[in-house]
Each structure stands twice: as structure tokens, then as C-alpha cells.
Chains A and B, each alone.
Chain A
Amino acid sequence: MEQLVGVVVRDVIKGYAAGSQELRVLDGISLRCQPGEFISLLGPSGAGKTTLLRLMAGLDRPDHGEVVYIDGSSKRVDASEVRVGMVFQEPRLLPWASVAKNVSYGLQGRAKAMNRHEQERAVRDALELFGLGAFSTYLPHQISGGMKQRAALARALVGEPDLLLLDEPLGSLDIKNRLAIQEVLSQFAGTRTCIMVTHSIEEAVYLSDRIYVLSDRPALVKSEIHVPLPRPRDRVAPGFSTYARQVIRALGVTPAG
């Protein structure tokens, strides 16, 4: 029985030392992801999205404010009980381990309840899901950038995480793979909590229950867009473009000329 976990980010301030000065990357940002919700974060480059995701993964601490995990009844869940599946902005595969080994490193706590055979099976299933079945014995430098990114996704998902954090996971995929992986991710919507950074409006609308549009650095929530479209979604349905237009408007893009 897996739990659904949400994340609450409250008044978070985070800066990095830049010489003698401080580079304020987050300046009092608050947002929330309900258990089981699929959230997208959209915002300009350098806004602080990766920083925010690392805080939500517990890889860094805010200078001020808090990041807490919650369950379905909004009660706090201790970080040690939350299994996070993370896809970093770059694939970050260990160069010395085969694709299958890399993916198996995502099993985390799930590995304890499995024997070797079951673990291998789980890894194989994850590889198949992302079209990497034939490449399990390859080393990372022997596969393409898009394949690495898919391997990173397989690694994040194989452990059946309570919380999935994706930092531009489909950035270097070709269109066909991009659509295919979006399909895989859309199946997780509702069954798994997911927070995804993306630069694609279409992808955000296709997958998300809610989209946060962030400002320039320091990142603040500029706008929050609910996408109550039924699933599975249809990219050419009239409702779809309505939400895409809302996002464009929120981004503050004005037509050139």
C-alpha cells in the first residue's frame, strides 16, 4: 500500500553566496501540491525552478520558511517516510554502471521487499516502459542523449515513489518519444504526486491538474492555472487551447511587431 504525499512550500527564501554578496533565488515563495496532483512549473531560465525542486526533494534546506510533506488529510508526513523519485535536469547516470544497473539504483526502499529475481523484473519492466529494453547492458556513454533521459525517468519511477519530481524530463527527446513519454506520464496523473518543471506549454496543459507560472528571479508565483480537463486529454479539443492561451497570457508574452 503506497501513500499519496503532497508538498507544501511556505514562504521559502533561498539564496546562494555570489562572491561577498548573496544571490537571492527564492524570495518568499509559497505553493502547494496536493497528494495525487500533477503540477507543472513554468518560468524563465534562471528563475530558480531547479533550486525549488531540490528543496522539495530535501536535497537542500531553505534559508527561511519551510517545505513539508503532507498526507491526504493534510497531516504532516516525516521526510524519512517519503520516497522521492527525482529526474535531474541532466540525466545524471553513473558512467560506470550499465543502463540496467543505473535504473536499479532507483529501487530504493522498494528493493528490500523484493528478491533478486523480482528486482530484475521490476528493472526490466521499467526499461521496457521507456523503450530501453534492448539497451540494458549498455554503458551511458554508448546511448544517445534522449535515451539517457529516458533511463533517468525509468530510474525515478522504478522505485514507485510517493513523490515524483521532474526537472525538464523531456527536454532532449525527439517529438515521437516526447509524445510517447507524455503518454506514460499521463497515466501516472491521479495515481502519483508529480511536480514537473517544463518549458513546454502544450506539455504542461496536457499533463497537469494545475500549472504555476513563475516570475523571473527571484521566483514568485505569477499565476496559477487550473486545468480541469477530463483525462485522457485531447490536444486538439477546443478546451485545450483555451488553457494554453491562459498560460501564454500569464507568461506575459506579447506578440512581436
Chain B
Amino acid sequence: MVPLCIVVLWQGLSSLGVFDTSMIPSPLSVLAAGASAMRSGELTRHVGISVLRVVRGFLAAAIAGVTLGLALGWIPLLRTLIGPLLHFLRQIPPVAWIPVFIMWFGIGESSKISVVTYAAFFPILLNTETAAAQISGNYLELGRAFQFTSFQVLTRIIVPGSLGPVFTGLRLGLSNSWRALVAAEMLASAGGLGYMIVLSRELVQPDVMFLGIIVLGLLGYAVDAGALRLQKRLAPWSLSLRT
């Protein structure tokens, strides 16, 4: 409701000539830019490129982050050994790595995907680790009382018990992915939404610029909503009050 009001207000003010349209284009012109970009296939192409990069980078981060997070949470020795290194790496903004990754992997897809992976990895890792480490001692004691095997402790307690925070980590990781990707595409890319936005500035197309920004917001929103629904389905207890 509120977003709709803002759009209406924005359009109203634009029509009244309050905004300089070379600075703030009207919603209708953004919509028109969207329609024409759709028709030419440009929008779909850029979105496709970006989404594919996020999917590939994020999946790699999810697999690595969850696996390593579970291991770190479960094995205190591992935490002592590589914990400090991870916390050091975590502090480095993913964008700072872009030149390094380009140097290592070239200007192609790999460098962009690596930045996405780097950005998504840490929230996933840390949330998983904390969750696995903080599984209530009571539950582990229950496992001992009922003679669970180590494998059963993992599958019955550690993994499901970490699932809620893991989802939180995945959602954070997803939104980090978008941010890092757009930065990477703005710096060094010939495709993707970030590139589209930078290019539109050079071509003086503010409506395309805003189109890119709005599409980014919508995509991020939709993906997060999807992840939340998935969490509700797969781990309903993590969203309800704990007992």
C-alpha cells in the first residue's frame, strides 16, 4: 500500500514538473524504458547474466559455508585452528578483492562469480557455525542418554538444530551476493544489471538507470521472500517460538 502511494506521489510530482527529469525520471518513463528494454531483449539479457552469476556464486558459497560451518561448530579444535584466519578474511570487503580476482581469474565470469561466493560465504559460514556450536547441551545429553551414534547426533540434532540460523545465513548471503555482484559488474563487466546501470549513465538514460535499480530491489525482494517461504516449509519450528 505504502509503496503504491509513493509511486503515485512520485508520478504526480513528476507530472507537475517538480522534479528535473534528467535527475529523477518519472515512474511512467521508467516503465516505458522497462517495456522497450524488454522488447529489445536487453533487460532479460542483463537480468539473465546477473541471476546466473548470483546462482553459481551463491550455490558454491552455500555448499562450502554450510559444510565448513557445521564442521567448525561441531569440532572445537578446528575452530581454534582456522577460526582466526576466517575472521580476518571476513573483515575484508568483497569488493576489495575484485582487482585481485581479475588478476587471478581474468576478466571473465570466474572473477565475478568468485566475488559473489566470497560475499555470500561468510554470513552462511558464521550463522551455521554459531548455530551448530550453540545447539543446546541438553539435546546432546539426550543423544547420549539414548545412545545415539555420532551419525545420528549429526542427522537428528546438529543438522536440523542448525537449520533455522542456516536459513538466516543463506538469506543474508543472498543479499550480500547481489551487492557484491553489482559492484563487480560496475567495475569490470560487459553485461549484467550493474553494467546496465553504469552504461545508462554514460548514455545519459536516467530512466534506464532507475529501471536497473528498481529491478535489483524487486529481484532481491522476491528471492528473499522465496527463501523465507522455503524456510517456513522446511524448518517451520525455526520460525515459531521455541519450546
Contact = CB atoms under 8 A, between A and B. Distances in A.
Interface of A: 57, 59, 83-84, 86, 88, 90, 92-97, 105-106, 108-109, 139-141, 148, 155, 159
Given A59-B141, A96-B160, A141-B241, A108 B235 contact: no
Interface stretch (B42-50, B103-111, B144-152): B144-152
A59 B145 contact: yes
A159 B147 CA distance: 11
Given A92-B139, A96-B160, A141-B242, A159 B237 contact: no
B163 interface: yes
B240 interface: yes
B147 A92 contact: no
Nearest to B147: A108
Contacts, number: 52
B57 interface: no
B148 A139 contact: no
Given A96-B161, A96-B235, A88 B243 contact: no
Q: How large is the interface on B (under 10, 10 to 19, 20 to 34, 35 or more residues)?
A: 20 to 34
Interface in B221-241: 235-238, 240-241
B156 interface: yes
A88 B237 contact: no
Sorted nearest first, the 3 A-B pairs with minimum C-beta distance are: A96-B160, A86-B145, A95-B237
Interface centre among B142, B160, B240 (most CB of A within 10 A): B142
B145 A141 contact: no
Given A94-B139, A139-B236, A141-B240, A109 B156 contact: no
B148 A105 contact: yes
Contact of B160 (A57, A90, A94, A148): A94
Contacts of A97: 156, 160
B157 interface: yes
Contacts of B146: 86, 105-106, 108, 155, 159
B80 interface: no
13 contacts: A84-B145, A88-B142, A88-B145, A92-B138, A93-B243, A95-B237, A95-B242, A96-B160, A97-B156, A106-B146, A108-B147, A148-B243, A159-B146
Q: A88, A92, A139: which has the most chain B beta carbons within 10 Å?
A: A92
Nearest to A93: B243
Nearest to B160: A96
Contacts of B142: 88, 92, 94
Nearest to A95: B237
B128 to A, nearest CB: 15
A88 B238 CA distance: 23
Interface in B100-159: 138-139, 141-142, 144-148, 156-157
Contacts of A159: 146
Nearest to A107: B146
A108 B148 CA distance: 7
Nearest to B238: A96
A88 B160 CA distance: 21
A169 B163 CA distance: 30
B147 A141 contact: no
A141 B242 CA distance: 7
A57 B242 CA distance: 27
Given A59-B144, A88-B142, A96-B161, 6 more contacts: A57-B145, A93-B243, A97-B160, A105-B156, A140-B243, A141-B243
